[in-house]
Amino acid sequence: MAACTATLFDVKPGWTARVAERNAALLAQQPMRRRGVRTPEIIFAHHIDNTRLVKAPDPVRARQMRTFSAALTVLFSLIMFYGLQHFNVIENSYRIESEKQVRDQLREQNRQLRLTEAQLSQPGRIDNLSRQLGLSEPQPGQVVHAATHIDSSAPVLAQVNAPQPNPAN
């Protein structure tokens, strides 16, 4: 390369022309040196008939595929079982919460009913209402309590007792 470079002091008349020729020759040789001699590409159509080919059975590959399929089936079944259990737990928790709300509502309703029963069953209130309606106190023997019978689970037949004369009248 040092021989091909020209300096300002080296001004021979044919020197630059020879350098330009050499560079042109080297430039023309570069594609041939890189890829070799280029030949034209010709493509021939070649029809291959593969209809008579038969795939040879591979027992090792078949066994591997059966094992893989079985493993995937087991894995899929386990995932589906887990999903089913998970969604059942979620559904049951929602059901339990709704039943707790119903239970709380029923407890509140029961408390309200007991409070109402206690208010309505006050003896003084009942006595005042009976006097307003014109009712009198029952005569002795007129009231029969069901709890006084020995067997309270047995059916009780209604009995008519003749009214006893009132000595106060």
pLDDT at 82 over 60: yes
The mean per-residue pLDDT over the stretch 149-160 comes to: 65
Distance CA 146, CA 160 (A): 15
The residues, ordered by sequence, that sit 6+ positions from 15 with a Cβ below 8 Å of its Cβ are 6
Confidence of residue 36 (pLDDT cuts 50, 70, 90): low
pLDDT at 115 over 60: yes
Average pLDDT of every residue of the chain: 82
For residues 119-143, one letter each, b for 16 or more C-beta atoms within 10 angstroms of the residue's C-beta and e for the rest, the string is eeeeeeeeeeeeeeeeeeeeeeeee
CA distances from 165 to 38, 134, 140 (A): 146, 20, 11
**Better-predicted residue by pLDDT, 147 or 120:** 120
Lowest mean pLDDT among 23-37, 84-98, 114-128: 23-37
DSSP codes of every residue in 120-136: HT-HHHHHHHHHHTT--
What is the number of other CB atoms lying within 10 angstroms of the CB of residue 13?
6
